[in-house]
Structure 1
Amino acid sequence: MKLSGGCNCGQVRYELDGEPVRVGICHCETCRKSSGSAFSYFGIWPRANAALSGELACWQARAGGERFCPACGSQLFCWADGSDEIEIKLGTLDSPPSTLMPAYELWTIRREPWLAHQNGAEQHARDREQPGA
């Protein structure tokens, strides 16, 4: 699988190689505010599978650095320093991400009551349990 995407103004572009490690939805306050929506829809890829181009700005959030385009403000990526994974905001893909189904939902205690949970997706009241933690 090869996917590409970028920001609204086109200054930042990216290409992804291979399937995502996982796909999720987060309803936390940080994700709501950064997405401007009721939740954030994202996919996680190995950092080595993502080729990025263009200038990025960074805002440090609880989960790592939120990377965005300084020209148009589009939120694109998130990764923690030293992490081998990159979180891609799936709404920034060039093609609709219709085949990337969420396998889990985070911060469901903050999910809007009018928004149904995703059938078949793991439900986590807060963050996911980290393997080996």
Structure 2
Amino acid sequence: MTRTGGCNCGQVRYELEGEPLRVGLCHCETCRKFTGSAFSHYAVWPQGRVRISGDTRCWEVRAGGDRFCPMCGASLFTWTEGEEEIEVKLGTLDGPPNGLEPGYELWTVRREPWLGPLNGSARYERDRPGSG
């Protein structure tokens, strides 16, 4: 299976091969501000199964860099050059993220009270153990 996506203006495009390693939601302040939403819905693929075309800019934060399109400002990925995994913001897919249900939630200590926990997902008050 190949999924495709990109930014709002079309300058940045990507292809994702196969299924992701994991799918999650993050409620931390950085993700909220980077996505402009109450949480970030993302999936992680091995770097070798992601092809990106177009120019991105990086906002260095956390352990990695948040990548965005310099033309339209769309938030797309989080990764650091040389790392083996890339986190893709699922709202940037060309179609709906069908079949990409979150298996865990991060930073639930910051989850909005009106947004209930996901049934069947692991929940972490902050980062996943061993993730950093």
TM bucket by the smaller chain? over 0.9
Report the RMSD for the aligned CA atoms in angstroms: 1.1
Aligned partner of 2:62 in structure 1 is: 62
SS across alignment from 1:127: coil
What residue in structure 2 maps to residue 122 of structure 1? 122
Alignment of 1:1-133 (within 5 A): 1-130=1-130
TM-fit CA distance, 1:106 = 0.1
TM superposition shift of 1:61 = 1.2
Listed one character per residue, the Cα deviations across residues 43-93 of structure 1 (whole Å, up to 9, x for unaligned) are 000000000000000001114100000000000000134310000000000
- The residue type paired with residue 28 of structure 2 is C
C-alpha distance in structure 2 between counterparts of 1:94 and 1:71, whole Å: 18
Note the C-alpha offset of 1:103. Answer: 0.2
Where 2:60 maps in the other structure, the secondary structure is strand
Q: How far apart in 1 are the matches of 2:51 and 2:123?
A: 31
| 1-structure distance, mates of 2:8, 2:23 | 22
Q: CA deviation at 1:2?
A: 0.6
- Equivalents in 2 of 1:120, 1:60: separation in Å? 33
CA distance in 2, matches of 1:97, 1:7: 15
Please report the TM-score for the alignment, with normalisation by the length of structure 1: 0.96
Look up the equivalent residue of 1:37 and give its one-letter code: S
Unaligned runs of 5+ in 2: none
Aligned length: 132
The CA deviation string for residues 79-133 of structure 1, in whole angstroms up to 9 with x for no partner, is 13431000000000001002100000000000000001110110000000127x8
Gapped regions of structure 1 (runs ≥ 5):
none
